[in-house]
Amino acid sequence: MSLQCGIIGLPNVGKSTLFNCLSNAKAQAANFPFCTIEPNIGVITVPDERLNKLAELVHPQKIVPTTIEIVDIAGLVKGASKGEGLGNKFLSHIRETDAIIHVLRCFDDENVSHMDGVVDPVRDKEIVDTELLLKDLETIESRINKVEKQAKTGGEKDAKVAFEVYRKIKESLLRGEPARTVNFETKDEEKIAHDLFLLTAKPVLYVCNVDESAAITGNAYVDTFKKAVENENAEVLVVAAKIESEIAELDTYEDRQLFLSELGLEESGVNRLIKAAYRLLNLQTFFTAGPQEVRAWTFHKGWKAPQCAGVIHSDFEKGFIRAEVIKYDDYIAYKSETAVKEAGKMYIEGKDYIVEDGDVMHFRFNV
């Protein structure tokens, strides 16, 4: 399962710089617009304290964290939906992602050129949103053209349902509201909407890119921005991408922590960002723990035991018999699998068990 978050925003706002903090594959960051053309893809490990705590108890040969993919996408400009700048390419790259990290420039620096000469994250966000909305509108109109006739001549039922879904989304877009705000009544309708892969349907989180002096407190740009997106229910993170990308270059973990604490940060903005992206994608983690390896695995919130077993191997899902489950807190409290068992805290669960974040799982299967 490989899930992707795309980093988007206007040119020169710090997307590649942020990507560099996130990834070992260094994207080229430079002070000229459109420096990024092909999207850079980085596989990022998801930081999880619990994995280390389990490993301290189990002493495995290997510790394997789980990962997500981050894609650094080229900057977008006004008119992108009509093919301006790197418009169409940019938009097709966004279409392939599962969620969006929207970066806003919230730092002053006369040496870094800005599209309109003035730093204004609220306006920048509107420019990007408008382009995405316009592109979606184009998509939805072409879909409507395809089904309208069938739907109106009373023919196919499917066409009617689709037409209604499209119409509902179109109205929302025309009001300037993204497709993610539209609610549907049935699973069928949701599926029709999902299959459009609309840009404004993707979940979003915002990153305000600030200078190092504002790393903790934020600044006036951030305050204004937060107010402007108040009713979107989206997370807004403050990250000082430039200084963090320099810190990320340091060789040892200790050095990196030292520099972070000098900035007053306990955890890097990047760590916070990865965790937020994980939440945004509705993902959770279960663990497996044995002498060979202690490992974190990603699953979708709400998945049942067999589906989670399938994350490890499709045979585990096909031949699923049962799962032995230890709650993470119990594992830590009793300090070993044997002690947990003796305390009667290992649960045997069947195919309807909904796996919870932090569960330590052992699957029994039969092939």
Ligand X SMILES: Nc1nc2c(ncn2[C@@H]2O[C@H](COP(=O)(O)OP(=O)(O)OP(=O)(O)O)[C@@H](O)[C@H]2O)c(=O)[nH]1
Binding region for Mg ion (CB under 5 A): 15-16, 36
Q: Show the DSSP H helices in 153-268 as ranges.
A: 157-174, 187-194, 220-228, 241-248, 253-263
Sequence-separated (6 or more) residues with CB below 8 Å from residue 173: 133, 136, 137, 140, 179, 200
Q: Is 74 in the site for ligand X (CB under 6 A)?
A: yes
Longest dimension (CA), the chain: 70
Q: How far is the CB of 31 from ligand X (least distance, A)?
A: 4
313, 314, 307: which is closest to 354 by C-alpha? 307
Q: Is 262 exposed, middle or buried (0-12, 13-18, 19+ CB in 10 A)?
A: exposed
Nearer to ligand X, 20 or 284 (CB): 20
52 contact, one of ligand X, Mg ion, none, CB 5-8 Å limit per kind: none
Q: Is 268 in the site for ligand X (CB under 6 A)?
A: no
Q: Is 15 in the site for ligand X (CB under 6 A)?
A: yes
Among residues 57, 112, 115, 228, which is the contact residue for ligand X, using CB under 6 A?
112
11 contact, one of Mg ion, ligand X, none, CB 5-8 Å limit per kind: ligand X
- Nearest to ligand X by Cβ — which residue? 75
Report residue 119 as tokens.
Answer: 């730093």
Distance between CA 272 and CA 289 in Å, rounded?
Answer: 25
Q: Is 229 in the site for ligand X (CB under 6 A)?
A: no
Report residue 75 as tokens.
Answer: 């900057």
Q: Is 217 in the site for ligand X (CB under 6 A)?
A: no
Among residues 151, 222, 241, 294, which is the contact residue for ligand X, using CB under 6 A?
241
Q: Is 41 in the site for ligand X (CB under 6 A)?
A: no
Distances (CA, A) of 195 to 132, 140, 142: 17, 11, 14
Q: Is 141 in the site for ligand X (CB under 6 A)?
A: no
Residues that bind ligand X (CB under 6 A): 9, 11-17, 29-31, 33-36, 74-75, 107, 109, 112, 209, 211, 240-242
